[in-house]
Homo-oligomer: A and B are copies of this chain.
Amino acid sequence: MVTIKDVAVRAGVSVTTVSRVMNNRGPLSENTKTAVKRAMEELGYMPNDVARALGKNSLNIIGLVVPSIQHPFFAELVHAFEYDSYTRGYKLMVSASDYDYKKEKHSVGLLRRTMVDGIIYASHSMGSDFLEDMKVPAVTLENVFAGLPAILSDNAQGGFLAARHLLARGCRNLVTISGQRNLHLSADERTLSFIRECERQGASCKVYSADEEMLKTMEYSRIVSQVFNENPNMDGIFASSDIIGAQCIQMAFSLGYKIPDEIKIVGYDDVILSRLVYPPLTSIRQNIPDLVKATMDTLVALIAGEKVPETQTIPVTFIERRTT
């Protein structure tokens, strides 16, 4: 890294003189100015944000904590956050918990010590105590911790829309495969509201829950096999992610089911995957652009010291494709 000192040496002047040229301050000969500017150019010197940040206490960095970057939903989410940060003049520091509490805690500590302007917490390994303690503007996504503003996706609506559609298509023996449920995530609402609507319409609904290992490896074949083995008469599946939905399609095909005639499948998230499987997967779209915009608006308002809503819920959209 080229420093102001390197520029001074190259230009044959003092550091103070270089600083005066940069700030256009004090009496300076044209020769000196030219020499310093040439030295800066030759060395590729660029005044850095760090020194400036000490003054205003900001590096214009947003820290983002997600459980995973490679999981398709979070990949699309991180992508959207990077773009939004860019348009607002922020840089994005990304940290993945890898579903590991220790890594997450360490990463959040690092983010804080780097003097990020704010933190977006879209993971779920840590307790609320740690986040509330941070004294850095922070917004949570898909998590509710007392004291921190939360942006939520309308999971209850998602579960309801999936149920209503499958029931309207004539399904009466339903199964739902949910994510890991003991996390008390906002995502649990998908399952609860799906069950409620099935019950309300008098249809049978069985619930299966994945475990953390499946979430981590994105490998759900064990639970998907179990679902197909134990429910030979099921006619509809609501999978709480497109990844699970894709694996239901694979299993249905390999057992000789016709999709959607004999079994109907609805996924969740509407990630790119849902368009790449065959048949393309009906899904519930989490509106990533709106989730990201609401989160960033809230974080930027918090950084500016403004009051922000405690929770904001972003609607989901039902996307019909060819598995239903």
Report A's interface with B, CB cutoff 8 A.
Answer: 1-3, 43-51, 53-54, 57-59, 61, 68-70, 72, 75-76, 78-80, 82-83, 86, 91-96, 98, 103, 106-107, 109-115, 117, 133-136, 218-219, 243, 246-247, 249-250, 253-254, 272-273, 275-278, 280
Q: A96-B82, A114-B50 are in contact. Are A254 and B278 (CB under 8 A)?
A: yes
Copies in the complex: 2
Tell me which residues across on chain B come within 8 A of A2, comparing CB atoms. Answer: 135
Contacts of A79 in B (CB 8 A): 68-70, 96
Residues of chain B with a CB closer than 8 A to A247's CB: 276
- B136-A1 in contact (CB<8A): yes
Instruction: Report yes or no: A113 in contact with B254, Cβ–Cβ below 8 A.
Output: no
Taking a contact as CB atoms under 8 Å apart, the answer to whether B134 and A44 are in contact is yes
Q: Which residues of B contact A115 (CB under 8 A)?
A: 1, 48-50
Which B residues are in CB contact (< 8 Å) with A53? 50
CB pair A43–B273 under 8 Å, yes or no, is: no
* Cβ contacts A to B, 28 pairs, < 8 Å: A1-B58, A44-B134, A46-B112, A46-B113, A47-B113, A48-B114, A49-B113, A50-B50, A50-B53, A50-B54, A51-B54, A68-B79, A70-B72, A70-B75, A70-B78, A70-B272, A75-B78, A78-B78, A78-B94, A83-B96, A86-B103, A91-B93, A92-B95, A94-B94, A218-B272, A253-B278, A273-B276, A276-B277
Docked-complex contact B91 and A111, CB < 8 angstroms? yes
Q: Which of B51, B57, B68, B219 contacts A1 (CB 8 A)?
A: B57
